[in-house]
Copies of this chain bind each other. A is one copy, B any other.
């Protein structure tokens, strides 16, 4: 729990998300810790609930969990992820609206860590988004929901943060390069 609280603050400080636009979770066995709906990412103290990963047995706490709890569930079911971070990072949102299906990074670190970044569709918290994000994260560590924000997974919260951070880096570098080459 302390780890999610800490990384919530780091996400905001690093400019990877703002106010309550994002959510974070960590899997522990068949349960997951997840931030509550509408909670400020840099003030998650007392704003994290535990709900089952399996949605077949819905929990009474589901109603106060993030409205994107279904996306987290789908990702945990489809991948080996033990942590998921989601944030409305600005350059990731911009690049996802400029590229149809994927973004190909140009900086060495992103080429090495991310290969390419899939862009998926689906409304905020929709089943379509849950399905598409989970599918994209089978083969990648991060994906961008078009016009919405990044979902990053990791074996640890730490690793998910590196991916979230790296995707914004890749997208900002690519945006600036493309502008320089076009003009």
Residue ranges of A at the interface with B (Cβ–Cβ < 8 Å) = 12, 14, 18-21, 40, 88, 90-91, 93-94, 97-98, 106-109, 112, 123-124, 145-149, 158, 161-162, 165-166, 168-169, 172-173, 175-180, 182-183
Copy number in this complex? 4
Beyond known contacts A93-B107, A93-B173: 7 more, CB 8 A cutoff = A14-B19, A18-B166, A19-B166, A97-B107, A97-B173, A179-B179, A182-B183
**Complex contact B169–A88 (CB within 8 A):** yes
**Complex contact B108–A176 (CB within 8 A):** no
**Complex contact A173–B109 (CB within 8 A):** no
* Main SS at interface, chain A: helix
**Complex contact A123–B108 (CB within 8 A):** yes
**Complex contact A180–B94 (CB within 8 A):** yes
**Complex contact A173–B90 (CB within 8 A):** yes
**Complex contact B173–A179 (CB within 8 A):** no
Q: How far, in whole Å, are A133 and B141 apart by their CA atoms in the complex?
A: 31
Q: How far, in whole Å, are A107 and B108 apart by their CA atoms in the complex?
A: 28
